[in-house]
Amino acid sequence: MKMRKSLRIVLEIAGNLFRRVLTVRFPEQSLELPEAYRGEHVLDTEKCKGCGLCADICSSKAIRMVETAEGKRPEIDASKCCYCGLCEDVCPANALRLTRHLSESVRDPSDLVKRPKEVKEKSK
Partner 1 sequence: MNDQMKVSRDPDYDLYFGPAHPGSGNFGVKLKISGEEVVEARADPGYLHRGFEKLMEYRNPMQNAVLSDRICVFEPLNWNLVHAEAVERLTGKEVPEKARWIRVLMAELSRMQSHLIWYAGTCLGIGFDTGFKLALVYRDYILDLFESITGGRVYPAGYIAPGGVRRDLRPGWEEKVRGVMKKLEKMIKFGKLENPVLEGRMKGVGRLNLKNARNLGATGPVLRASGSKDDVRRDVPYEIYPELDFEIPSEKEGDALTRYRIGMKEVEESIFITEQVIDRMPSARMEPVKPRFFPPMPKGEVFVRNELSRGEGGMHMIGSGSEHPYRCKIRGPSLSHQVPVLEHLLKGSQIADVPAIYWSLNPCPADTDR
Does 34 engage in binding with partner 1 (CB under 8 A)?
A: yes
| Residue of 8, 37, 52, 119 that binds partner 1 (CB under 8 A) | 37
Q: Which residues pair with 72 in a beta bridge?
A: 67
Q: Of 51-110, which residues contact partner 1 (CB under 8 A)?
A: 57, 59, 82-86, 89-90
Alpha-carbon gap, residue 44 to 42, rounded angstroms = 7
Find the binder of partner 1 among 10, 17, 18, 35 (CB under 8 A).
Answer: 35
Measured from the CB atom, is 101 or 118 closer to partner 1?
A: 101
| 94 phi/psi in degrees, rounded to 5 | 55, 45
